[in-house]
Amino acid sequence: MNRSVIIAIVAAGVVALAVILYFAMRTAPEPGPPPITGPERAEDARAVLDQIERAPAPDFDAAFSSAQGFQRDGQLADAQLLYFFAARAGHAESAFALATMNDPLHHSASASLLPQADAFQAYRWYTTAQDQGMEAARARLDALRAWAQDAAQAGDPEAERLLLQWR
């Protein structure tokens, strides 16, 4: 083997080593935190949603039943997502359930995804349920209005804003 070949091999080795060292030593770019998966992102509900959306016509009753099951099992993010999906499409029972989860008069930490009640969400979804002809929603709305009046009287600005919805 002649000398120039040896030099070329050594040089190539050095370059290869430098390249290896460079890639080994350089600071890796900050990878973004991986997207959250699992119960916090309601992955189970999303799997149900995938199935429902693949069907020729979405079965909102099925979404509602699944949501009830998740709620019973304490999978509250999954329950919320499915109720929300169906309520948004006008499914009265889902809207009523979602409203109840947010209603300051019915909120319970063990049955609601959000730690605090949200009176406006309760208003919105009871109204959806009422618009679909659900009588129970009408009574809940009346009670909610009375609650908002008391809260506004006591100086709650959110309640005061909510009352504008009834004008």
Partner 1 sequence: MRPIVIMLVSLAVMQGLLLGAPDGSAVAQQARPLTLEGKQSLYQRVVAVPGAAITATAGARATQPVTPFTVYYVYAREEVDGEEWLRVGLDSRGNIRGWLPASQAVAWRQTLTVGFKDTAEQPRVMLFEDRDALIRLAESNDVNAFRTLRDRAAEGDVTDSPVAALQPEGFIDIRRNFYLVPILSHEDVLAGDYQARLLEVASVPLRFSAADDPYRAGVVFVIDTTVSMQPYIERTRELMRDVSERIAQAGLTDRVGYGLVGFRDDVSAAPGLGYVTRVYSELTDDARTFLSQVSGVRATTVSSRDFNEDPYAGIVEAIDSIDWSGYFARYVILITDAGPRLAGDALSSTGLSTSQLRERLVANGIAPWVIHLKTPSGARNENHQHAEDEYRALARIEDVGTFYHPVETGDVAAFGSALGTMMNQLTAQVESAASGFQPLQAGADRPTADEGDPALAEFQASVQRLGYALRMDYLRQTTEDGRAPLLFNAWLLDRDLEQPADRAIDVRVVLTRDQLSDMHELLRRILDRAEEGALAPNRFLDELRSLAAIVSRDPQAAQVAGPGTSLAELGYMREYMEGLPYRSEVMNLDLSTWQQWTAQQQFEFINQLDSKAAYYRALHDNLDLWVSLDGGPVDGDSLHPLLLEALP
Where do contacts with partner 1 occur on this chain (CB under 8 A)? 32-33, 35-36, 40-42, 49, 77, 80-81, 84-85, 88, 102, 113-114, 118, 120-121, 124, 157-158, 161-162, 164-165, 167
What value, to the nearest 5°, has the Cα angle with vertex 80 and ends 74 and 84?
Answer: 160
Q: Which is nearer to partner 1, 79 or 92 (CB)?
A: 79
Question: Quick one: angle between helices 60-72 and 92-102, nearest 10?
Answer: 30
In the complex, what is the shortest distance from the CB of residue 77 to partner 1, in angstroms, rounded to a whole number?
4
- Cα dihedral value 125, 139, 117, 152, nearest 10: 110
Structure tokens at 27: 């600071």
In the complex, what is the shortest distance from the CB of residue 120 to partner 1, in angstroms, rounded to a whole number?
4
In the complex, what is the shortest distance from the CB of residue 27 to partner 1, in angstroms, rounded to a whole number?
19
Long-range contacts of 109-112 (CB under 8 A, 24+ apart): 110/74, 111/71, 111/76, 112/76
Q: Which is nearer to partner 1, 76 or 137 (CB)?
A: 76
In the complex, what is the shortest distance from the CB of residue 38 to partner 1, in angstroms, rounded to a whole number?
10
